[in-house]
């Protein structure tokens, strides 16, 4: 059984169809990328998995539990943590407080403190600026904080929506290095990205979606040639 | 200028800053301008009348419990059902609730103001460096400072406080990290109710009666204080409320006698000037429009 399984998911906003019929799955320990142009329904898919929007048809199962109709908090408690588009860190909270709220679903306060210390060790910049307002961090540092905040809930699956958006190229490299490290440590990841080449290189498998449905799904596993081919053929990001 | 005016103005400013904080807190968490907040203070006033014969600690505790209970009831029965509705719907709900509570008080306690036995202990005055300082002003200042410190500690040092601050900034993201909105909003109404009860005790300590319409002027002061301070900002709310009380008292003291009846007009003209210069208020929170 897959960790996460989407079957025939359809998402509409009024009369506008954002996702027609999406099928995808993520297995335990797998790093899967969902790539596609802006406006093809990638972020809507993330929102549906996270419980922010309710699909009009289909099913989203996580470890056998149906997620459609569940609240975001309940989905987080089942083990899916989200790193949203634009990071959405709490800018008026300190770095340490952002980590604390990330651990809200943990019932043991001592465990939250321990996890927070672990995050600060894992992401040294967060430890260095623990008492600084999060809004004062650079874009890359904020992205690290957003990922660390999500990891505070000890998720089974990490869901990332466009983590490279708005970041300088070398910072994007750092973010992907971090995802690579998380994958090596056994985390299951579903990455939604416009940066197709980089996502395909990093992921075990990718799904390419266009106008609300999957048009290609293949193993990636660091295949540079494949990454370039997909980018050139379907996405026209500079090389077409 | 007589420095005595400053003492009085600081006392009034402190009380007004408390009034504003209670209103601003709920606005920050759920975007609701609760115009029934003044009626919470009014209910506190009637509680004081009912508990006047009790020991002072029981009077304070009883008033806080009654007002917090009504505040929680407000949230559960009136505001929770419309939480996801438009801001306009919530605003109309709060107006309707204010009217309902006023009329309920009118039925329960009568149309005429109820006399309130004075707290003679609070009228004791001290002379310090030529200034007359009453116990009531000292109590107001000390209470305001303690409430501000308590609120700051609560918001910074406790989990519920940190969750409240996270929710005030991004309620959607707060839900995504597992913060339970019902719990956080209820906490905001408990804090707001507690502040309303404290305001009632300090406000009615200097009044001779409580009326069903007592809350009207309070909510107006709190609303305007929150707006000029900057909606969504706690520091702004405290500052805005303080300035309202301070400036109002100073106007009443310094304007020529024949112009003092227009003190309100001068005050609200100043409010308009402030908003023309800083439309978002003195300390504007991000993403909030006045």
CB A20 within 8 A of CB A214: no
Q: How far apart are CA A140 and CA B31, in angstroms?
A: 31
Q: What is the CATH number of the domain that holds A118?
A: 3.40.50.300
Who's near A229: CB < 8 A, 6+ residues apart? none
Give the 3-state secondary structure of residue B223: helix
Domain ranges (residues) in chain B: 3-213
| DSSP annotation string for B259-279 | GGGGHHHHHHHHHHHHHHH-T
Residue B288 pLDDT > 50, yes or no?
no
Residue B15 pLDDT > 60, yes or no?
yes
- Could you give phi then psi for residue A21, rounded to 5 degrees? -160, 95
ipTM for this prediction: 0.86
Q: Please give the residue of chain B at the shortest CA–CA distance from A51.
A: B176
Count structural domains, chain A.
Answer: 1
Segment A79-102 mean pLDDT: 94
Q: Please give the residue of chain B at the shortest CA–CA distance from A72.
A: B176
Cβ distance B172 to A52 less than 8 Å, yes or no, reads yes
The answer to the question of residue A240 being in a domain is: no
The answer to the question of residue A188 being in a domain is: yes
Residues in A 57-116 with any Cβ partner in B closer than 8 A = 71-73, 76-77, 82, 84, 88, 90-93, 97, 100-102, 104-105, 109
Residue of B28, B153, B162, B176 to mutate for A, most A C-beta atoms under 10 A = B176
Instruction: Report pLDDT digits (tens) over B197-245.
Output: 999 999 998 889 999 999 888 888 889 999 998 887 888 899 999 999 9
- Give the mean pLDDT of chain A: 87
- Residue pairs between chains A and B whose CB atoms are closer than 8 Å: 57
For the entire predicted model, the pTM comes to: 0.81
Instruction: Report pLDDT digits (tens) over A136-161.
Output: 999 889 999 999 999 999 999 999 99
Residue A197 pLDDT > 90, yes or no?
no
The answer to the question of residue A114 being in a domain is: yes
Instruction: Report pLDDT digits (tens) over A203-232.
Output: 999 998 877 566 666 666 656 666 666 666
Write out the residue range of the structural domain in which residue A109 sits.
4-235
Residue of A70, A95, A104 to mutate for B, most B C-beta atoms under 10 A = A104
The answer to the question of residue A104 being in a domain is: yes
A190 band by pLDDT with thresholds 50, 70 and 90:
very high
Which residues does chain A have within 8 Å of residue B176's beta carbon, measured at their own beta carbons?
Answer: 50, 52, 72, 76, 82, 84
Cβ distance A101 to B175 less than 8 Å, yes or no, reads no
Residue A237 pLDDT > 50, yes or no?
no
Residue A189 pLDDT > 80, yes or no?
yes
Instruction: Report pLDDT digits (tens) over B155-206.
Output: 889 999 999 999 888 888 999 999 998 899 999 999 999 999 999 999 998 8
Would you state the pLDDT for residue A217? 65
């Amino acid at each position: 059984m897959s960790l996460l399984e989407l079957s025939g998911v359809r998402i509409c906003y009024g009369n506008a169809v954002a996702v027609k019929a999406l099928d995808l799955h993520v297995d335990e320990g797998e790093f899967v990328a969902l790539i596609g142009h802006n406006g093809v329904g990638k972020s809507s898919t993330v929102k549906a998995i996270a419980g922010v929007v309710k699909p009009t048809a289909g099913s989203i199962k996580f470890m056998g539990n149906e997620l459609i109709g569940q609240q975001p908090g309940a989905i987080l408690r089942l083990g899916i943590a989200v790193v949203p588009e634009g990071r959405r860190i709490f800018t008026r909270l300190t770095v340490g407080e952002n980590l604390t709220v990330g651990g809200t679903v943990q019932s043991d306060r001592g465990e939250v403190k321990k996890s927070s210390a672990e995050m600060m060790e894992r992401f040294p910049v967060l430890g260095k600026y623990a008492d600084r307002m999060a809004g004062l961090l650079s874009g890359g540092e904020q992205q690290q904080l957003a990922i660390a905040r999500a990891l505070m809930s000890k998720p089974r699956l990490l869901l990332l929506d466009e983590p490279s958006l708005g970041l300088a190229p070398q910072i994007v490299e750092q973010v992907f290095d971090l995802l690579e490290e998380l994958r090596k440590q056994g985390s299951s990841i579903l990455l939604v990205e416009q940066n197709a080449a980089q996502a395909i290189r990093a992921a075990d498998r990718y799904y390419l979606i266009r106008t609300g449905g999957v048009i290609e799904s293949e193993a990636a596993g660091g295949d540079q040639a494949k990454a370039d081919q997909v980018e050139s053929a379907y996405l026209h990001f500079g090389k077409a | 200028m007589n420095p005595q005016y400053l003492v009085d103005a600081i006392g009034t400013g402190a009380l007004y800053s408390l009034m504003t904080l209670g209103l601003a807190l709920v606005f920050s968490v759920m975007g609701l301008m609760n115009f029934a907040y003044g009626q919470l203070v009014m209910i506190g006033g009637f509680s004081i009348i009912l508990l006047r014969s009790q020991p002072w600690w029981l009077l304070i505790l009883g008033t806080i419990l009654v007002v917090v209970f009504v505040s929680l009831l407000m949230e559960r029965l009136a505001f929770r059902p419309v939480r996801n509705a438009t801001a306009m719907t919530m605003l109309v709900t709060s107006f309707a609730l204010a009217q309902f509570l006023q009329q309920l008080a009118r039925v329960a306690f009568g149309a005429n103001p109820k006399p309130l036995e004075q707290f003679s202990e609070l009228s004791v005055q001290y002379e310090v460096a030529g200034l007359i300082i009453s116990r009531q002003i000292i109590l107001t200042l000390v209470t305001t400072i303690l409430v501000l410190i308590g609120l700051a500690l609560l918001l910074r040092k406790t989990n519920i406080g940190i969750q409240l601050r996270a929710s005030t900034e991004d309620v959607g993201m707060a839900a995504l990290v597992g913060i339970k909105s019902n719990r956080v909003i209820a906490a905001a109404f408990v804090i707001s109710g507690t502040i309303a009860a404290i305001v009632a005790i300090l406000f009615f300590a200097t009044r001779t009666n409580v009326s069903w319409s007592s809350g009207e002027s309070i909510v107006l002061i709190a609303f305007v204080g929150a707006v000029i301070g900057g909606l969504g900002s706690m520091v702004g709310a405290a500052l805005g409320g303080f300035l309202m009380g301070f400036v109002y008292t100073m106007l009443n003291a310094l304007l020529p006698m024949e112009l003092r009846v227009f003190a309100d007009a001068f005050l609200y003209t100043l409010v308009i000037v402030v908003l023309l210069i800083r439309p978002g208020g003195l300390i504007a929170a991000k993403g909030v429009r006045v």
